Amino acid sequence: MSASDPGAPAARCFLFLQGPHGSFFPRLGKTLAASGARVRRINLNGGDRATWPGGDAFRGPERTWPGHVARYMARHGVTDLIVFGDGRPMHATAITEAARAGIRVHVFEEGYIRPDWITLEREGVNGHSLLPRDPDWYVGEGATLPPLPEHPPIPSFSTGRGWAAFFYYAEVVLQNWRFPFHRSHRDRDPVWEGITYLRRFRRHEEEAARVAKDILRMSERTFFLFPLQLNSDYQIRIHSPFGTMYRAIDVVLESFARAAPAQIGLVIKEHPLDSGLNDWRTVIEAKTAALGIADRVVFVEQGDLLEMVEASLGMVVINSTSGTLALARGKPVKALGDPVYDIAGLTDPQPLDAFWSAPQPPAPGLYDAFCRVLANRCLIHGAFLSNAGIELLVTESARRLLARA
């Protein structure tokens, strides 16, 4: 590949912004640089600087960020912008400026399907995805592609992610003097969130015993499953009509109380990475008591989600990737947000009130075609929570990013 070829590594300049906690983005940057590409990074806070010490610091107020990032991309000849998530305000602004300058945008996100997949899409994810929502298109495309490959499970350590987040946000505080205008994209104080996350480990056995009793109680009736997402997740904040999980919980419980058959139950499961800052148990118990459905609804902090899916009648989601666990098993799914899998024939198109009584399962074969297309276009086998998973991600991500545009 000649240096004059626009696809040649030396002609490419990759600008990284914030990534997932851990070593994935720094390792990916080193791999791209080793290929001959130019690699830049803008650090927005002390946690970024601790993760990527050689990056360039942005220390100004947020109102100056659009002009700063636009000038930075022009000055360094940036050809590609890489971010984790497209909803953080600084990322969204950078994506807008990149689009104006004709710069390619690559967005990493948690995998659209589970487990052990990560999403890498051009321009945006979920509601911003370029993938169509036409079921016939997926069936046609899927017929030309191989089945979703089977891989051995990747070791994954959620406690490691908790510690990585804790140390990241500790550096945000310790180096605040370097970035005096920095404001977190999260909806709560990240340091306190990290502390509460670590405190949860001490309550693990107590929670497990309570969950076992609640699951036993719910096993006596048929039930739907409602997995919560993180309240700080931009999939809730910008890719859903709710803005917060509080509002989403209210809508789901009010619909359940109003329209679900009296013999049906509802299991609400906390997100496995929830820090505990939001006391969902208290919120849900108060709401169900007020609605008179406390005996039909249980909240669980932990447990095997797949086992719950298999025992359930179906799933209600906002735009959680856990919806694909249900679709893979032919379970009805009602999506209330804008997930990429909200496609006619996959998810149930009825109003939520109607879903409780007559849930519609996915059309046979459509989910398989959908997965084949995703694996071909935007999924990478790997994980953020282990060295083995990160190594897989780095190798394949670099290959795709360095391919011709």
What pLDDT, in 10s, does the model give residues 336-358? 999 999 999 999 999 999 999 99
Question: What are the DSSP E strand ranges found in 169-280?
Answer: 223-227, 265-269
What pLDDT, in 10s, does the model give residues 145-174? 999 888 888 876 656 666 777 788 888 888
Which phi-psi region, left, alpha or beta, contains residue 362 (left: φ > 0; alpha: ψ -120 to 50)?
beta
The confidence score (pLDDT) of residue 176 equals 87
**Is it the case that residue 5 has pLDDT exceeding 60?**
no
Question: Mean per-residue pLDDT for 218-230?
Answer: 87
**Is it the case that residue 217 has pLDDT exceeding 90?**
no
Question: Mean per-residue pLDDT for 360-372?
Answer: 96
| pTM of the predicted protein model | 0.86
Cα–Cα distance measured from residue 311 to residue 304, given in angstroms and rounded to the nearest whole number:
11
**Is it the case that residue 6 has pLDDT exceeding 70?**
no
Question: Mean per-residue pLDDT for 379-395?
Answer: 92
What pLDDT, in 10s, does the model give residues 180-207? 887 776 555 565 565 565 566 556 566 6
- Residue written as token pair 């890498």: 120
Q: If you average pLDDT over every residue of the chain, what do you get?
A: 88
Which phi-psi region, left, alpha or beta, contains residue 318 (left: φ > 0; alpha: ψ -120 to 50)?
alpha
The confidence score (pLDDT) of residue 58 equals 96
Q: How confident is the model at residue 29 (pLDDT cuts 50, 70, 90)?
A: very high
| More confident site: 94 or 386 | 94
CB–CB of 154/383 below 8 Å? yes
In 3D, which of 294, 295, 275, 296 has the Cα closest to residue 283?
294
Provide the 10 A C-beta neighbour count for residue 242. Answer: 18
What pLDDT, in 10s, does the model give residues 87-108? 899 999 999 999 999 999 999 9
The confidence score (pLDDT) of residue 4 equals 40
Supply 332's token pair: 């009805």
Q: How confident is the model at residue 22 (pLDDT cuts 50, 70, 90)?
A: confident
The confidence score (pLDDT) of residue 196 equals 61
The confidence score (pLDDT) of residue 314 equals 97
The confidence score (pLDDT) of residue 216 equals 64
Percent of the chain at pLDDT above 70?
86
Q: How confident is the model at residue 316 (pLDDT cuts 50, 70, 90)?
A: very high
CB–CB of 86/121 below 8 Å? no
**Is it the case that residue 257 has pLDDT exceeding 80?**
yes
The confidence score (pLDDT) of residue 149 equals 87
**Is it the case that residue 404 has pLDDT exceeding 70?**
no
Question: Mean per-residue pLDDT for 237-265?
Answer: 94
The confidence score (pLDDT) of residue 2 equals 35
Question: Mean per-residue pLDDT for 72-98?
Answer: 96
Task: Report the interhelical angle of 24-34 vs 387-402 (nearest 10°).
Answer: 40
